[in-house]
Amino acid sequence: MIVAIDGPAGAGKSSVARRLAHRLGFQFLDTGAMYRAITYAALRRKLGPQDHDTIAEMAQRVSLIMHDDRVLLDGFDVTALIRTSEVATQVFLAADNRRVRERLVQLQREFANSNDTVTEGRDQGTIAFPNAECKIFLTASAEERAGRRHAELKQRGEAISYEDVLAQLNERDRRDSEREYGALRRAADAIDVCTDGLTQDQVITKLEGIVQKRQRELTLV
C-alpha cells in the first residue's frame, strides 16, 4: 500500500508522515530530503542556476540512499547538512530541473516498489504515485507554518527572524505551485487535512483513521 502525503512547505508533513509510518509499520520516504540532497551536492560543487545541465547530469551519477531516516549522498551522511536555510532557499536548483525530477521520481518508485510506504512531498499523489491507494493533502496557514519552521530553526541555532522565515516560505510556496513540471497540486482523489490548531498527535490520529478506513475499503473490494 502507498500512502502519498502532499502539501506546502512547513505543514508538518515529514514529522507527521514519519510517525504515521512507524505506527502503521510502513517504511517512510521524505522526498523533500532528496531534492535537498541534490541541491546540497550542487552547492558543494559551486553550481548555480546557469548550470542546469551539469546539475541534471550530476543527479544521474550521484548515489542517493534513503535509509532509516538518514540521507546518504555518495556514501556520506548529509542528513543534518541538508536542513540549512541556504539549502532551502536554493532548492529550486534541483526542484525546477525536469531531468532531476525524473531521476528522483524513478528512485522514489524503486524505493516503494516492494514495501508498504508512507511517502511525502509535493507531487507524490499526482506524478510519482498516481495510483497510490491513499492520498492526503496536508495544509496549514502560511503564518502557522512559518511559526513552526521558525521555532525549528531557532532550536537548531540558526539566527533568522520570523518575518524572514515567512517571506522565504511564501517565496517557496510560489515556486512550488508555479513549477512547470512536478508543481504542488492536490490530486483529485486526495483527502484534505488542515492542521491549523491541531497538535501533532491529533493530526497523526486523524491520518491513521483515514488510512485504516481505506485499508478496510480495499479488503472489501
- Residues in contact with ligand DC by CB under 6 A are 9, 31-32, 35-36, 91, 95, 121-124, 172, 176, 182
Q: Which residues pair with 73 in a beta bridge?
A: 64, 76
Say whether 85 sits in a helix, a strand or coil. helix
Least distance to ligand DC from the beta carbon of 132, Å?
13
Nearer CB in complex with ligand DC: 25/68: 68
Q: Which residues pair with 6 in a beta bridge?
A: 121, 137
CA distances (Å), 92 to each of 49, 55, 70, 194, 203, in order?
A: 9, 11, 22, 26, 29
Output 31 or 195, the one with its CB closest to ligand DC.
Answer: 31
**Closest to ligand DC by CB, 60 or 212:** 60
Q: How far apart are CA 79 and CA 114, in angstroms?
A: 24
Of 164 and 215, the one with the shorter C-beta distance to ligand DC is: 164
Q: How far is the CB of 213 from ligand DC (least distance, A)?
A: 25
The x, y and z cell numbers of residue 93, run together, are 536548483
How far apart, in whole angstroms, are the C-alpha atoms of residue 216 and residue 76?
A: 41
Rounded to a whole number of angstroms, the minimum distance from the CB of residue 109 to ligand DC is: 12
For the CB of residue 27, give the shortest distance to ligand DC in the complex, in Å.
16
